[in-house]
Amino acid sequence: MKRIAFNLMAWTIVLVTAFPLIWMVITSVKPQFELFRIPPTFWPEEITFEHYRRLLWETPFLTFMRNSLILSFSTTVLVVGVATLGAHSLVRFRYPGRERLAQLVLFTYLLPSVVLILPLYLMMVWLGVANSLLSLVIAYTSFALPYALWLLRSFMQGIPDDLESAALVDGATRMEAFFDVILPQALPGIISTSLFTFILSWNEYLYALVLVNTDSARPLTTGVMSMLVSSFNIEWSLLMAASVMMSVPLIIIFAVLQKYLTRGFGAGGVKG
Amino acid sequence: MTSKAGGPARGNPLDRRDAMLGVMLIAPCVLIFCAVIVYPLVSAVYLSLFNIFTPTLQGNFVGFKNYAELFAGEEFWRSLFNTLVWTVCTLFLQVVLGVAAALMLHQAIVFRALARSLILFPYFVSTVVAVLVWRWLFNDLYGILNHLMIWSGLLQMPLDWLGSMPNAMVSIVLVGAWKYFPFVVIAILARLQTIPDQLYEAATIDGAGAWARFTDVTLPQLKDVLMVVVLLRAIWDFKEFDLIYLMTGGGPLIATQTLPLMVYKEAFGLDAMGRATAVAVAMMSVMLVFMVLYLRRMGKEEAR
């Protein structure tokens, strides 16, 4: 009896927490006129995918989606590639200034983007790449690289030294040992770091707001918000459909790769 | 952290070659760091000494005038105050809700994996999505929140959630707590799983009730991780831009304008790039206190 009561209470709390997201999905399939019913209906009386159709074919949503995909993929590949080498160096090599560097990485990981954004904006104008996806990739490395480096470093610290030593004794060079021994061991860590970096880039808003102001280079975050601001009367069902579509990659990552995500939690790798 | 390449054998040419390789591996990171972090950081301090008109990016040196104006005016102090109110309130709610939810999810409930995913989802969803959903919930005419509250008798009249004070501040604090409490859940849940069961058994034998077990066993065990979580979240909440900017835009007037929003407004609303960087640098100086505390804490943990 006590068990059932506890379960009921727990699930009530879970559903209340998830309610805004459930409501988002419900609103996105309601016909427009049903939104303005008083009192509101909970379950839609009629399910329609009209808003999704309009979103995909009558708004620049697909352009934003393409931009976001290119942007997040490029940032992730660039950052995780560079950070894997860097983290390996921080964990397995000795040279002057290494400890200092590790501390600096942690420091930059906490740095507020509003401080960096104005000089970065000037830099992009000066380089002549303002208003392009390239400028965003460059800017995104400023938060993604410290993050990925720090996360990968903690993953790689968990790989026993003996594995590499054994390979070295067998006559492998340091780089061979890195590719044949360390990389396969670090792969789960690299995958979860990539996922988190992808999510970070996918959700970023401030840099996109400041650095890009043409629809052709806007990612989803600022693109969808510009749909809200530019419309005369706000079409909530369209915006909710956009929100659902925007969250689809996250849901996929969440469902399919939960194993890797929890590994990331274990390493303390979650960023706000 | 031992490495075969290191050690006292400084003169060994092989070791020196290894050290060279290590430096080469980290070099790309360091170069990017210098370009997108170190240079902008130094540049921000430098720019704050200039008076720059944003559209043309032309300006002249004014020394510390930006700072003097800032500290003499009311807006900076008001924004700092708002930032502190927002940070303290939302952080408090995040920690209380996060610990409670973690304790709940640590128990055996049906479909626990699904329950965890649902609780964690707000944290991973884009702030833009969170804000759109909440603005729809808060909508004064058709929002479900007003309806539910009137229907249940909590309210007599629909409430203007975002356009008046103190409602606007309460709203962003609530949405902030909803969006970020899962971070606390994740950290606490991971720690809870490592508390040995014997501690609870011993406490039960000693006659401790559920509440006593929580205050005498669980809380002391959670103390360290809570410190880290509070510091991290304090830093991140302090610099939060997206959520507040998109919920209220700092309004009504400047009632919910925090320091990051003031930076943005000075730079792109008032076209005063120099003054904006001065606000940003001042804001970072306040944050530096928390950042140093966190770095020291982490330094201690690394040493352990």
Of the CA atoms within 13 Å of residue A257, those in its CB half-sphere come to: 20
How far does B104 lie from chain A, in Å, by closest CA? 7
Give the least confident one: A151-155, A204-208, B78-82.
A151-155
- Cα maximum dimension of chain A: 77
The confidence score (pLDDT) of residue A265 equals 53
The confidence score (pLDDT) of residue A235 equals 83
CA distance A44 to A22: 12
Query: A269 with A196: CB under 8 angstroms?
Result: yes
Strand partners, B272: B53
Query: A225 with B117: CB under 8 angstroms?
Result: no
Query: B231 with B187: CB under 8 angstroms?
Result: no
Q: Which residue has the tokens 């943005």?
A: B264
Strand partners, B60: B51
The confidence score (pLDDT) of residue A245 equals 93
Structure tokens at B156: 């007599």
Contact at CB, B25 and A203, closer than 8 angstroms:
no
Query: A219 with A64: CB under 8 angstroms?
Result: yes
- CA nearest to B45 within chain A: A115
Could you tell me what percent of chain B has a pLDDT over 70?
94
- Given CB atoms, is A24 within the 8 Å cutoff of chain B? yes
CA distance B249 to B118: 29
pLDDT of A63 > 80? The answer is yes
Q: Tell which residue, B291, B264, B290, has the closest CA to residue B54.
A: B264
CA distance A272 to B237: 8
Contact at CB, B233 and A142, closer than 8 angstroms:
no
CA distance A184 to A163: 11
Query: B276 with B259: CB under 8 angstroms?
Result: no
Q: Where do the DSSP E strands lie in B190-303? A: none
The confidence score (pLDDT) of residue A263 equals 58
- CA nearest to A18 within chain B: B118
Chain segment A121-136, per-residue pLDDT in tens: 999 999 988 889 999 9
Chain segment B19-39, per-residue pLDDT in tens: 888 888 999 999 999 999 999
Give the least confident one: A70-84, B74-88, B189-203.
B189-203
Structure tokens at A154: 């903690």
For residue A7, list chain B residues with Cβ-Cβ distance below 8 A: 109-110
pLDDT of B90 > 90? The answer is yes
Chain segment B122-136, per-residue pLDDT in tens: 998 999 999 999 998
- Given CB atoms, is B236 within the 8 Å cutoff of chain A? yes
Per the prediction, chain A carries an average pLDDT of 86
Helix (H, G, I), strand (E, B) or coil at B195: coil
CA distance A224 to A246: 9
The confidence score (pLDDT) of residue A30 equals 86
Chain segment B164-182, per-residue pLDDT in tens: 888 899 999 999 999 999 9
For B99, the enclosing helix (H) or strand (E) is helix B74-106
pLDDT of A264 > 80? The answer is no
- CA nearest to A79 within chain B: B29
pLDDT of B301 > 80? The answer is no
- Given CB atoms, is B49 within the 8 Å cutoff of chain A? no
Partner-chain residue, chosen from B29, B144, B298, that has the shortest CB–CB distance to A86:
B29
Chain segment A29-48, per-residue pLDDT in tens: 888 778 777 777 778 878 88
For B174, the enclosing helix (H) or strand (E) is helix B167-192
Chain segment B218-262, per-residue pLDDT in tens: 888 888 889 889 998 999 999 999 999 999 988 788 999 999 999
Helix (H, G, I), strand (E, B) or coil at B51: strand
pLDDT band at A232 (very low <50, low <70, confident <90, very high): low
Structure tokens at A42: 């909970």
- What CA–CA distances, in Å, run from B12 to A99, B1, B6, B7, B64? 22, 20, 10, 10, 52
Per the prediction, chain B carries an average pLDDT of 87
Handedness of CA A152, A157, A163, A168 (dihedral sign): positive
Chain A, window 70-129: residues with a beta carbon less than 8 angstroms from a chain B beta carbon = 82-83, 85-86, 88-95, 98, 101, 103-104, 106-108, 110-116, 118-120, 122-123, 125
pLDDT band at B13 (very low <50, low <70, confident <90, very high): low
Q: Tell which residue, A260, A243, A232, has the closest CA to residue A20.
A: A243
CA distance B39 to B41: 5
The confidence score (pLDDT) of residue A119 equals 93
